[in-house]
Amino acid sequence: MTRIMASNSKSIAQAAEVLKLGGLVGMPTETVYGLAANACDGKAVAKIFEAKGRPSFNPLIVHVNDVDDVLALAEMNAFEHALAQKFWPGPLTMILKRRNDCPLSELVSAGLPTVAVRIPSHKTARQLIAASGVPIAAPSANKSGSLSPTAPAHVAQSLGDAVDFILADGVCSVGLESTVIDCSGNVPVILRPGGITAEDVSEALGMTIGYDFGDHGNDVKSPGQLLKHYAPNIPVRLNAVDLEEGEALLSFGSIKFMGIKGAGAASDLPDDSLRHLSKEGDLYEAAANLFSMLRALDSPKNKAIAVMNIPETGIGVAINDRLRRAARG
């Protein structure tokens, strides 16, 4: 049976024990809930892949508390130090070269010579990392291919008994997964848009940083790019300007002028068919709400989820990336 405990010093100590014994813990972070295991324990890491149904070619993110801990695992170049200074702790993941004496399980890297590392800012995550005394491997705590969890109940729903212990600490403030960046080339490139925007990174490095979503065929830098992530069970339709009958609406900004074809106004939709990402058009609020609202509308009562247009700027790029994957799935 999974134990779900509110986060406090006692439950954090218990969760750390579970990690030390090779178990799996649902861990809150500022981005999404993670499925945590001791990253140096190959058997524990294997349990993550099994619990998620995750393809073994898709490597995991390792979480530690400070740059010295990172340097015990991997090498960092000048770009990476600059980004660490600016954005850690926080929702940025860097793909780093593993040290020759790297103590992490090979499975964490799925056999690659690199490892994805992040220093989270969430207080409970940091306390759990400190209490366990080991680097923590943690992908999002959901079945592979489904929506990432932004609340403790989502973790229990998605993984059931496969997770030993859930540290419950409310909803995640960012609500989207971390930005993944690769700084191994002459110009760093963002492999997954997320909580830190390309504008943020460009400003920090004094150069224009773009994206590589791996959608150009052969040369995929991040295995996760291959996957149709974040798919609800019902279809998702993007850039909706009106609604078909039976569709639910995920709105952004005002819905005053939005109609249902032949059947009235969107504002009259029943509560279980309508969610507002942000009435004021605030992209950060929309990001924080995205996964939980997609979940709420993902019901057989609705024929599909129609989503209004989200501007492709700032964190809107990350929101649209997740929505396009949801629509493809």
Q: What residue ranges bind Mg ion (CB under 5 A)? A: 140
The answer to whether 58 contacts ligand TXA (rule: CB under 6 A) is: yes
Of 187, 150, 183, give the one whose Cα is nearest residue 322.
150
Q: Cβ distance 178 to 61 under 8 Å?
A: yes
In whole angstroms, how close is the CB of 155 to Mg ion at the nearest point?
Answer: 12
DSSP code, position 183 = -
Give the phi and the psi of residue 106 in degrees, each rounded to 5.
-65, -30
Question: CA quadruple 158, 276, 258, 241: dihedral positive or negative?
Answer: negative
Pick 99 or 213: Cβ nearer Mg ion = 213
Pick 32 or 39: Cβ nearer ligand TXA = 32
Question: What are the angstrom distances between the C-alpha of 325 and each of 17, 189, 270?
Answer: 37, 20, 27
In whole angstroms, how close is the CB of 98 to ligand TXA at the nearest point?
Answer: 9
Q: CB count, 10 Å around CB of 56?
A: 12
Instruction: Return the amino acid letter for 275.
Output: R
In whole angstroms, how close is the CB of 35 to ligand TXA at the nearest point?
Answer: 8
Residue numbers 215-234 binding ligand TXA by CB under 6 A: 222-224
The answer to whether 47 contacts ligand TXA (rule: CB under 6 A) is: no
Q: Which of 7, 11, 38, 93 binds ligand TXA (CB under 6 A)?
A: 93
* Contacts for 299 with CB less than 8 Å, ≥ 6 apart: 234, 248, 272
Q: Cβ distance 281 to 302 under 8 Å?
A: no
Q: CB count, 10 Å around CB of 233?
A: 9
Q: Which of 40, 70, 83, 180 binds ligand TXA (CB under 6 A)?
A: 180
Q: Cβ distance 139 to 18 under 8 Å?
A: no
Q: Which does 116 bind (CB under 5 to 8 A by kind): ligand TXA, Mg ion, none?
A: ligand TXA
* Contacts for 322 with CB less than 8 Å, ≥ 6 apart: 176, 229, 230, 290, 291
The answer to whether 158 contacts ligand TXA (rule: CB under 6 A) is: no
Among the listed ranges 87-95, 99-107, 256-264, 311-319, the one in contact with ligand TXA (CB under 6 A) is 87-95
Q: Classify burial at 238, counting beta carbons within 10 Å of its beta carbon; exposed 0-12, middle 13-18, buried 19 or more.
A: middle
Q: Which does 224 bind (CB under 5 to 8 A by kind): Mg ion, ligand TXA, none?
A: ligand TXA
The answer to whether 196 contacts ligand TXA (rule: CB under 6 A) is: no
The site string for ligand TXA over 9-38 (x = CB under 6 A, - otherwise) reads: --------------------x-xx-x----
In whole angstroms, how close is the CB of 314 to Mg ion at the nearest point?
Answer: 22
Q: Classify burial at 198, counting beta carbons within 10 Å of its beta carbon; exposed 0-12, middle 13-18, buried 19 or more.
A: buried
The answer to whether 305 contacts ligand TXA (rule: CB under 6 A) is: no
Q: Which of 15, 19, 51, 60 binds ligand TXA (CB under 6 A)?
A: 60
* Cross-strand bridge partners of residue 210: 189
User: Measured in Å, how far apart are the chain's first and last C-alpha atoms?
Assistant: 31
Among the listed ranges 67-75, 114-122, 245-253, 320-328, the one in contact with ligand TXA (CB under 6 A) is 114-122
* Pairwise CA distance, residues 193 & 6, whole Å: 31
Closest residue to ligand TXA, judged by C-beta, is 224
The answer to whether 124 contacts ligand TXA (rule: CB under 6 A) is: no
The answer to whether 7 contacts ligand TXA (rule: CB under 6 A) is: no
Q: Which does 273 bind (CB under 5 to 8 A by kind): Mg ion, ligand TXA, none?
A: none
What residues make contact with ligand TXA under the rule CB under 6 A? 29, 31-32, 34, 58-61, 91, 93, 95, 109, 112, 114-116, 118, 138-140, 177-178, 180, 192, 222-224
